[in-house]
Amino acid sequence: MEKVTLAHGSGGQATAELIDKVFKHHLNNEYFTADDASVLPNPQTTLAMSTDGFIVSPPFFNGGNIGKLSICGTVNDLACMGAKPLYMTCAFVIEEGFDMNKLEEIVASMEKCAKEVGVKIVAGDTKVAGKGQVDQVFITTTGVGAIKEGIKTSGAYAKAGDAIIVTGDIGRHGTCILLERDDYGIEANVSSDCAPLWNAVDALTEKVKDVHVIRDATRGGVGTVLYEIAREANVGIKLENKNIPVAKEVRGVTGMLGLDPLYLACEGRMVIVVPGDKADQTLAILHQCKHTEKAALIGYVTDEHPGHVTITTEIGSETLLPPPGNELLPRIC
Amino acid sequence: MEKVTLAHGSGGQATAELIDKVFKHHLNNEYFTADDASVLPNPQTTLAMSTDGFIVSPPFFNGGNIGKLSICGTVNDLACMGAKPLYMTCAFVIEEGFDMNKLEEIVASMEKCAKEVGVKIVAGDTKVAGKGQVDQVFITTTGVGAIKEGIKTSGAYAKAGDAIIVTGDIGRHGTCILLERDDYGIEANVSSDCAPLWNAVDALTEKVKDVHVIRDATRGGVGTVLYEIAREANVGIKLENKNIPVAKEVRGVTGMLGLDPLYLACEGRMVIVVPGDKADQTLAILHQCKHTEKAALIGYVTDEHPGHVTITTEIGSETLLPPPGNELLPRIC
């Protein structure tokens, strides 16, 4: 089986062949370049720009791989600003000896995911590090998006009375990676929620112009995002525990390990804050979109306990959600 | 001495502190964000976009460090398209235990270099990998630039009669890294040429609108760039050996090791191809600019030997420059 060699990262003939055979083959579009920089039409809007490095271990997991993840992560970061993802770049650092077929599978996943939301991968870079100098493969993606006219989101815009929606059941990605690492010897079938959410955000912001906050709950999970919003807007957040969607298998695993799904990473879930009277419309739109069919209203913004998140339990008592600590797992994304 | 820990990459409190203390402290500007994406004014021009991963080993070297290099690389890639670098992002992957002071020195170098050419670092990302899962620190930068009105460069635009200029003495970066690795036991003082060249390209393209090719001679060196141009434009390139600027200390080291400076990496040198009658004007402008004071005319584009590069030696004979092979050193940038 063909392997990636140091020569593939040399910038010479072998690099050119790798670009042709793997990258150009899968990512080809009118702007894709092997040159110094891609030349791109100006979208004539305010721009959004975001970057993310991906070092997830293992690079292949239930429901995706590092390639899919690297597109979703940056697409979703742009979508959080109400920006249509237009152009992306990807930079690979590959360990010498990495399997060429796996690399191709990663690149093919990237293209599939990019196509789903219509973003073009326009430029890339490939470096190869010696055995043991990098763990398998790292990918950094950067995206430029066109912010939709009239959309202005920020954690600071949350207001008392706003509804808090999550776009699907939470904690899947974190649980999935935890199981893949097999450190705990638990057998369960949990796939990552890893998904590109621009199409859902696009549909929502066509109809609901006054979305206050959109934030993707990656490292740190939904709980961290909610604390960020509570602090940035100086508001309280009140969750209804029974309404927080958690898949049965995720609940099983996290229960065994004593983890809170609110603090486990998602890679295809957003927290969306809208005026209370737009909650039903928002849910109705999201339920029609791919990846957000199970969006749920999980709570409200209040004036009480500013800077804090509280949960109402099934028996009606209100408790403080412990503020975010540090992440359980490194290399989750 | 403070070290980078896995918690600094968790996306939680420690990450926020690292961003505040190191990244925001040095990189602060009106667009810099710790949010999902930065919101940026539209430059109202055709855009250029480029990305580069940097894994240079060692990360600190004579004349620079991986931070400076990571800004120069992307700035120069944009400059090659005649694009003014506007916005950049940087994504770090840091090995657990990396020295925090070194990280700060790297980030300070990035800002210094970015300021020199007026580019804003607008967003970033920090991941931390466990000990032995990444070698010290890798940085990926991505840049968006505004292509200057009327400037259109490409390797394919080289024409017979054009002059070939290099912006300074060649092979310094490759030689410098080679010496830093100390594998050969040679003592010599060679500093990297690592430099951001946008200001020089800007000055040149203000006066000389019909620059045909601008290309930075990084991995693969000037020889590889010349072969690329010869092939893309289907022309011959004729070099005058005595006119190729090589520092005495670089010539000494490469002579001992049997290496050709034409095939050693530069990180602050460009190959610029202009119409023959613009050669003097081009040199006069470059000689006035920082980092290109020693620009030199090294040859001409011809109709002979299309796809090939020849050199006229000191005794007047013409020989073929051997086509590029693969790079001598991995992790040179």
The interface predicted TM-score of the complex, written ipTM, equals 0.95
Average pLDDT over residues B264-293: 98
Check whether B116 has a pLDDT greater than 80.
yes
Residues 83-122 of A with CB under 8 A from B: 83, 87, 89-93, 122
Our CA-based measurement puts residue A315 at a distance from the nearest CA of chain B, in whole angstroms, of 31
Q: Which two tokens stand for residue B64?
A: 């620079």
Which of A38, A326, A331 is the closest to B13 by Cβ? Answer: A326
At A16 the pLDDT is 86
Stretches where chain A sits below pLDDT 70 are: 327
Do residues A268 and A171 make contact, with C-beta atoms less than 8 angstroms apart?
A: no
- Residue B17 C-alpha, separation from nearest chain A C-alpha, in angstroms: 12
What does the pLDDT read at residue B183? Answer: 77
Report pLDDT for B50: 97
Q: Quote the tokens at residue A307.
A: 């800077």
Q: Which of A135, A145, A218 lies at the smallest CB-CB distance from B134?
A: A135
The segment(s) of chain A belonging to CATH 3.30.1330.10 are: 6-147
Asked if residue B325 has pLDDT above 90, the reply is no
CB proximity list for B226: less than 8 A, separation 6 or greater: B164, B237, B239, B262, B271, B309, B321
Most B-contacting residue of A17, A32, A35 (CB-CB within 10 A), to test interface: A35
pLDDT at A182: 78
Confidence check: pLDDT of B266 > 90: yes
Query: Cβ of B77 under 8 Å from any chain A Cβ?
Result: yes
Confidence band (pLDDT; 50, 70, 90) for B1? confident
Q: Describe the strand order of the beta sheet including B120-129 as a list of residue ranges.
A: A38-40, B47-54, B137-147, B83-95, B120-129
Band of residue B170 on the pLDDT scale cut at 50, 70, 90 = very high
Q: Does A261 touch chain B (CB under 8 A)?
A: no
Alpha-carbon distance A14 to nearest alpha carbon in chain B (angstroms): 7
Q: Is the CATH code 3.90.650.10 the one for domain A155-320?
A: yes
Give residues with Cβ within 8 angstroms of B176, minimum separation 6: B61, B62, B63, B190, B191, B192
Q: What are phi and psi of A307, to 5 degrees?
A: 85, 0
Optimal mutation site among B33, B36, B96, interface A, most CBs of chain A within 10 A: B36
To the nearest whole Å, the CA of A58 is away from the closest chain B CA by 12
Are B93 and A331 a contacting pair at CB < 8 A? no
Are the Cβ atoms of B93 and A220 closer than 8 angstroms? no
| B130·A331 Cβ contact <8 A | yes
Contact B134 A132 (CB under 8 A): no
* A153 touches B at CB < 8 Å: no
CA-wise closest residue to B168 among B287, B78, B275, B82: B287
Give the pLDDT score at A10. 84
Does residue B167 register a pLDDT over 90? yes
CATH topology of domain B6-147: 60s Ribosomal Protein L30; Chain: A; (3.30.1330)
Cα–Cα separations (whole angstroms), residue B327 to A127, B69, B221: 12, 19, 9
**Is A13 in the B-facing interface, judged by CB distances under 8 Å?**
yes
With a CB cutoff of 8 Å and minimum separation 6, the contacts of B47 are: A39, A40, A41, A42, A87, A144, B83, B144, B145, B146, B147
Mean pLDDT within B222-227: 96
Q: B322 pLDDT exceeds 80? A: yes
Using the Cβ of B263 and the Cβ atoms of chain A, whether some distance falls under 8 Å is answered with no
User: How far A324 CA lies from chain B's nearest CA (Å)?
Assistant: 7
Residue pLDDT, tens place only, B288-310: 999 999 999 999 999 999 999 99
pLDDT computed for residue A1 by the predictor: 73
Residue B263 has pLDDT above 90, yes or no: yes
Q: Tokens for B97, please give them.
A: 């235990």
A236 touching B, CB under 8 A? no
Q: Which residues of A touch B145 (CB under 8 A)?
A: 37
Give B125 to chain A, closest Cα distance, Å: 5
Residues 33-52, chain B, touching A (beta carbon < 8 A): 35-52
- What would the two tokens of residue B33 be? 């964000």
Whole-number mean pLDDT of chain B? 95
Positions of CATH 3.90.650.10 in chain B: 155-320
Cross-chain Cβ contact B38/A48 below 8 Å: yes
Pick the range with the lowest mean pLDDT from A48-62, A184-198, B176-190, B218-232. B176-190
Residue B96's pLDDT band (boundaries 50, 70, 90)? very high
What pLDDT does residue B317 have?
Answer: 94
Pairwise CB contact (< 8 Å): B134 & A130:
no
**Placement of tokens 């964000």 in the chain:** B33
Which carries the bigger pLDDT value, residue B82 or residue A33?
A: B82
Confidence of residue B182 (pLDDT cuts 50, 70, 90): confident
